[in-house]
Amino acid sequence: MHHFHFVGLNLHCESVDLAEIARLYGTPTYVYSAATMADNYTRIERGLAGLDLQICYAMKANSNLAVLRQFANLGAAFDLVSGGEIRRVLAAGADVRRSVFAGVGKSEPEITLALENGIFAFHVESEPELARLNHVAGRLGVKAPVAIRINPDVDAHTHAKITTGKSDNKFGIPLQAAPAAYVAAAKFPHLTIKGVQMHIGSQLTSVEPFVEAVTKVTPFVEGLKRDYGITYFSIGGGMGIMYQDALASGASAWWDAQPADRRPLTPETYGAALVPLLQPLGLKILLEHGRFMVGNAGVLLTRVEHLKRGAGKNFLIVDAAMNDLVRPAMYDSFHEIVPLHRDSSRRALVADVVGPVCESGDCFAKDRQLQEVGEGEYLALMSAGAYGHAMASRYNTRALPAEVLVSGGNFELINGRETFEQMVANESIPAFLK
């Protein structure tokens, strides 16, 4: 469920007409609904009621400071992956002490920053990393809290580039090798063993792989509690969202109309399957969802530049491009495209929706059926709140897009569109070229 819906003929976010935002701040602009984020967070919390839960929002999905503050206000901690993300948590006035630091290649300065700010735990991906953590902690005269990421070798049935829990991925330590890794960790004087972690992939649309992974590692987790007194088990993130039917899925009527066995994965289904498996462990359970928290809480607004009618093919050229939202080019992902003003008297249009970047891959949709739209009209690319702005680049010297947060009838710019001066601020021409 989300808060993007038509009021009359105009697409709104909560009670704000999106065209007003587009006119005020220009396009391309990301718009987020604070209420949708709150709703997503609360549903996860309620869906897993009965567990001792610590929700660490995977901030790589969307790390705007206002978004972080929204989740911090809701009670979230963070799953972070870089020194930059630690600094973002601090800048948002949020808590690093309940947050976890993941990633296969944490540098010494990043480890130092995390330890100085009292990180809850490091999610360790290899034995060499244990040695590095021990070394840095020793230098600072502290103990580094660690959990080892185990790779359960479960097929998440998701896109190859976002699956992480198979044995051929770079992530984690295979279950068979994990006991030895814990033995090694216990020998380091500057490490404290706190927990265990896994994450099998992203955009999972059924609960079975989660159940399979939890079931598979449970005996090992029980052993860790007995042998090392671990206090938590992080089961990672990965809950998928609706990309098809994204607009319709904002309404409860749409959910009610779906046959029970064909309903998309919900926090309720996820919780119902996992709580009975996790509760008996008697451990704190960490969750690291990113996409589910923000994916359907954001859209990318864009303006039509031209409708180019070709021989047997139409191209709708818009002012957003792969640099603003790279997911279609990178993962062949689907994003529903909705006109901000709907008009049933218009003819239908079938077109490839493309951006202005000089690459054929700069294409948001192929042969998409839309209502006919012309120059200057606005469209929304739906379900763009996760891995949208966070993955944006300046390719073709295009400025990073603006971001706006809506709450009820209020909205505010939370990231201004980059200026040319900001884009080139760190560049210089060396003396030998002058």
Smallest separation (angstroms) from ligand LLP to the CB of 331: 6
Smallest separation (angstroms) from ligand LLP to the CB of 262: 22
Smallest separation (angstroms) from ligand LLP to the CB of 292: 6
Q: 81 or 113, CB closer to ligand LLP?
A: 81
Q: How many CB atoms lie within 10 A of CB 198?
A: 28
- Are the C-beta atoms of 316 and 356 separated by less than 8 Å? no
Furthest C-alpha separation in the chain: 73
> Active-site residue numbers?
358
Q: 19 or 320, CB closer to ligand LLP?
A: 320
Q: 232 or 292, CB closer to ligand LLP?
A: 292
- Are the C-beta atoms of 88 and 70 separated by less than 8 Å? no
Smallest separation (angstroms) from ligand LLP to the CB of 389: 12
Burial 60-86, CB ≥16 within 10 A → b, else e: bbbbbebbbbbbbebebbbbbbbbebb
User: Can you tell me the distance from the alpha carbon of 292 to that of 133, in angstroms, rounded to the nearest whole number?
Assistant: 31
Interface residues with ligand LLP (CB under 6 A)? Answer: 58, 61, 79, 102, 162, 164, 199, 202-203, 236-239, 288-292, 327, 331, 387
Smallest separation (angstroms) from ligand LLP to the CB of 323: 15
Q: 58 or 338, CB closer to ligand LLP?
A: 58
User: Can you tell me the distance from the alpha carbon of 372 to that of 349, in angstroms, rounded to the nearest whole number?
Assistant: 5
Q: 16 or 81, CB closer to ligand LLP?
A: 81
User: Can you tell me the distance from the alpha carbon of 207 to that of 213, in angstroms, rounded to the nearest whole number?
Assistant: 10
Tell me the residue nearest to ligand LLP as measured from the CB: 237
Residue 53 burial class via C-beta count within 10 angstroms: exposed 0-12, middle 13-18, buried 19 and up: middle
Smallest separation (angstroms) from ligand LLP to the CB of 259: 25
Residue 90 burial class via C-beta count within 10 angstroms: exposed 0-12, middle 13-18, buried 19 and up: middle
Question: In 3D, which of 105, 72, 99 has the Cα closest to residue 85?
Answer: 99
User: Can you tell me the distance from the alpha carbon of 100 to that of 160, in angstroms, rounded to the nearest whole number?
Assistant: 25
Q: 27 or 203, CB closer to ligand LLP?
A: 203
Helix (H) or strand (E) holding 147: strand 144-151
Q: 38 or 316, CB closer to ligand LLP?
A: 38
CA-CA-CA-CA dihedral for 57, 391, 375, 417, to nearest 10: 80
Residue 285 burial class via C-beta count within 10 angstroms: exposed 0-12, middle 13-18, buried 19 and up: buried
Smallest separation (angstroms) from ligand LLP to the CB of 123: 7
Burial 372-381, CB ≥16 within 10 A → b, else e: ebeeebbbbb
